């Protein structure tokens, strides 16, 4: 099955794009939402988190002590890397299980904010970046999340730059407020349908840029 990785920096509109693909009948795996789920459902991950950050990582009822974990990793890059190194593989396992449950779709999409940073793009056949100018993205997030510009910029700094992601992505949707997004999605949808059909017949998928960085 053809797998498309969908990403974009904060405020790019990647989730909105994913919802449009869903309207076209394409299953979407929301990796960021799934990462929260596996922290309370994946036994391997739960055990690893307790060993790494302490038993206080979970309450007696089995729910995650998010405030405790956040206090450890907030503004601590080394501890955040430890957390991601545990959560990402569990999310990968969830993606594999999800893929196995899909039987009647021409292709699927994995939506992930850290598609490249987590190396999960390697699990996909192609990667799609939703691109938008930085000032547009900052304005969107300030309005959406009611946070300061400084906080938005801090979140942005924790991701690869959009320029770097453009070098890595196979396809790009421009969401700059001037170009229409829906026609871009429809064009890519047709391309992905053709690639999926070619994959089914054993035709090689051309033009992939996914590589290590």
pLDDT in tens, 23-37: 999 999 999 999 999
29: tokens are 């795996």
Domain count, the chain: 2
Q: Are 9 and 137 in contact (CB under 8 A)?
A: yes
> For position 211, what pLDDT does the model report?
52
- With pLDDT > 70 as the criterion, what percentage of the chain qualifies? 93
Domain ends where: 101, 125, 152?
A: 101
Task: Say whether both 124 and 207 belong to one domain.
Answer: yes
- Separation of alpha carbons 10 and 145, rounded Å: 11
Per-residue model confidence (pLDDT) at position 202 = 62
Final residue belonging to a domain, choices 82, 101, 120: 101
Domain assignment of residue 56, given as a range = 32-101
Residue count of the chain, please give it: 213
d(CA 40, CA 31): 15
């Amino acid at each position: 099955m053809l797998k498309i990785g969908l990403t974009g920096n904060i405020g790019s509109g990647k989730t909105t794009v994913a919802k449009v693909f869903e309207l076209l009948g394409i299953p979407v795996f929301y990796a960021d939402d799934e990462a929260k789920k596996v922290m309370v459902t994946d036994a391997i991950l739960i055990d690893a988190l307790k060993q790494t950050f302490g038993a206080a990582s979970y309450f007696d009822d089995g729910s995650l002590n998010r405030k405790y974990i956040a206090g450890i990793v907030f503004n601590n890059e080394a501890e955040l890397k430890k957390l991601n190194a545990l959560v990402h593989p569990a999310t990968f396992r969830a993606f594999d299980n999800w893929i196995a449950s899909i039987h009647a779709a021409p292709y699927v999409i994995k939506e992930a904010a850290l598609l490249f940073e987590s190396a999960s793009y390697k699990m996909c056949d192609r990667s799609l970046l939703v691109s938008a100018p930085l000032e547009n993205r900052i304005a969107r997030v300030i309005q959406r999340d009611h946070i300061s510009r400084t906080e938005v910029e801090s979140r942005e700094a924790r991701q690869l730059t959009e320029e770097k992601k453009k070098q890595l992505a196979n396809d790009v949707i421009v969401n700059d407020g001037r170009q229409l997004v829906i026609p871009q999605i429809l064009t890519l949808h047709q391309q992905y349908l053709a690639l999926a059909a070619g994959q089914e017949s054993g035709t090689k998928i051309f033009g992939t840029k996914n590589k290590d960085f």
